[in-house]
Amino acid sequence: MMRTRAAVAVAPGKPLEVMEVNLEGPKAGEVLVEIKATGLCHTDEFTRSGDDPEGIFPAILGHEGAGVVIEVGEGVTSLAVGDHVIPLYTPECRECEYCLNPKTNLCQSIRSTQGAGLLPDGTTRFSMLDGTPIHHYMGCSTFANHTVVPEIALAKVRKDAPFDKICYIGCGVTTGIGAVINTAKVEIGSTAIVFGLGGIGLNVIQGLKLAGADQIVGVDLNPGKIEMATHFGMTHFVNPAEVEGDLVAHLVELTGGGADYTFDATGNVNVMRTALEAAHKGWGESIIIGVAPAGAEISTRPFQLVTGRSWRGTAFGGASGRTDVPKIVDWYMDGKIEIDPMITHKLTLDQINEGFDLMHAGKSIRAVVEF
Ligand code: NAD
Ligand code: AHE
Ligand code: ZN
């Protein structure tokens, strides 16, 4: 048992509370990681706010981290003390029915305990100093200076990559770029529309440029996002608040009949409908990335699908983390993709709630907490 500092989500809708917590050492198949940096993703805020139907409290949130292996539990063979790692909320056991099917990245080997805020043996390693158990979150809990993660949920990455940048590969970068490359499999010369130019949408844009898309339309209510999106490859910007008449009709005209690929990175179900309907008749594919509020449902006229549009979704950009994440770290180190401009704010753990304020104000792309 050791002590570490963590930002604890004590109750839904409450600010995180930074405190000392107890952390038990790694059991069989588990690894103790010292987190060096973590990003704040909109999904953390979704859970903190109380909107996530899967939200459990008290919990240590955070799923976009990077750090160093401090101790390995019994039977751990793929990692050693001193390795640099990125925790994976979508693990890769390489043995389950899902891992063995190339059509999905959704490893299910530990999904039930992970969803219950526990490690695979059904218990938690975190507790308050008075002994109250604290739940894990998405199997990662990176809003803590130290965390325990299953071996199958850690990608080993090169040691020369900076933690304060590659932590973002733990969710936003991989989700956005992967949605383009793994899920949509966008071809050179495609047209695309990206709804929501935040931490995920900008990475969709970066992925589209990498894939060789010709037209990349960005849609956002916040014109403050134009400069950054243009930097990453956006060719046209549309602010729905400034469009007179029907937004779908406007986008269909702008893309010459609808886009080959559209992406929702807002989590708003009305936007998801617009995205589907702005996809090209006959072949357009719309990919849902955004996480919608509890109870929200998507709808459209079935005719939209009958006439050849398809609706799809993606988690963690379709990436198999232990295999793909080290490669994305290489892409960053080789200059194939950019991360630095998107890390707009650096915070200490004590300032973590300011990161959520910046997110709400639309002022940050990614705020990163450095330990
Ligand atoms: P963010 O807050 O950084 O960005 C959201 C953007 O959407 C903002 O720029 C905002 O101005 C814009 N927006 C909001 N309403 C809009 C509207 N009606 N029309 C156009 N633009 C609008 O959030 P983020 O971190 O980029 O996350 C985006 C979504 O993706 C969230 O729902 C998050 O939970 C989800 N997400 C999903 C996955 C996955 O694996 N599927 C991974 C990470 C995040
Ligand atoms: N708990 C929410 C759904 C949350 C969700 O969709 N999570 C994504 C990752 S978002 C990362 O920022 C995911 O990977 N889902 C797959 C899974 O198995 O959870 C709810 O609505 O219940
Ligand atoms: Zn995320």
* Protein residue with least CA distance to atom 15, ligand 2: 315
* Marked catalytic residue, from 4, 38, 64, 274: 64
Give the residue range(s) of CATH 3.90.180.10 domains in the chain.
2-170+339-370
Residue 287 has pLDDT above 90, yes or no: yes
What is each CA distance from 159 to 25, 29, 92, 166, 333, in whole angstroms? Answer: 24, 23, 21, 11, 11
Ligand nearest to the CA of 89: 2
Q: Confirm whether the ipTM is greater than 0.90.
A: yes
Question: What b/e string do you get for 233-248 counting C-beta neighbours within 10 Å, with b at 16 or more?
Answer: bbbebbeeeeeeeebb
pLDDT for position 135? 98
Taking the centre of ligand 2 as the mean of its atom positions, its distance from the CA of residue 291, in whole angstroms, is 7
Atom of ligand 1 nearest to the CA of 45: 34
Q: What is the mean pLDDT of residues 259-286?
A: 98
Q: For residue 53, is the peptide bond before it cis, meaning its omega torsion is within 30 degrees of 0?
A: no
Q: What is the mean pLDDT of residues 118-124?
A: 98
Q: In the Cβ-directed half-sphere of 104, how many Cα atoms lie within 13 Å?
A: 14
Which residues are near ligand 1 (CB < 6 Å)? 41-43, 46, 171, 175, 195-201, 219-222, 225, 240, 265-268, 271, 289-291, 314-316, 359, 362
94 is catalytic: no
What is each CA distance from 116 to 59, 112, 122, 316, in whole angstroms? Answer: 11, 6, 9, 19
DSSP summary character for residue 344: E
Q: What is the mean pLDDT of residues 255-276?
A: 98
Residue 353 has pLDDT above 90, yes or no: yes
Q: CA 287, CA 181: separation in Å to the nearest integer?
A: 12
Q: CA 340, CA 124: separation in Å to the nearest integer?
A: 34
Q: What is the mean pLDDT of residues 141-146?
A: 98
* Protein residue with least CA distance to atom 12, ligand 1: 196
Q: CA 86, CA 2: separation in Å to the nearest integer?
A: 22
User: pLDDT tens-digit profile of 188-219?
Assistant: 999 999 999 999 999 999 999 999 999 999 99
Q: Percent of the chain beyond pLDDT 90?
A: 99
CATH top-level class of 176-314: alpha beta
Neighbours of 253 (CB within 10 A): 11
Ligand nearest to the CA of 318: 1
pLDDT for position 294? 87
Q: CA 371, CA 335: separation in Å to the nearest integer?
A: 26
Give the residue range(s) of CATH 3.40.50.720 domains in the chain.
176-314
User: pLDDT tens-digit profile of 2-54?
Assistant: 999 999 999 999 999 999 999 999 999 999 999 999 999 999 999 999 999 99
Residue 247 has pLDDT above 90, yes or no: yes
Average pLDDT value for the chain? 98
Q: Which tokens in the block code for residue 71?
A: 């101790």
Q: Assign domain 2-170+339-370 to its CATH superfamily.
A: Medium-chain alcohol dehydrogenases, catalytic domain (3.90.180.10)
Which residue is it, tokens 């010459």? 256
List Cβ<8 Å contacts ≥24 apart for 325-328.
Answer: 325/86, 325/88, 325/155, 325/157, 325/169, 325/170, 325/174, 326/155, 326/156, 326/157, 326/158, 328/169, 328/173, 328/174, 328/177
User: pLDDT tens-digit profile of 296-308?
Assistant: 999 999 999 999 9
96 is catalytic: yes
User: pLDDT tens-digit profile of 75-92?
Assistant: 999 999 999 999 999 999
* Marked catalytic residue, from 93, 345, 354, 370: 93
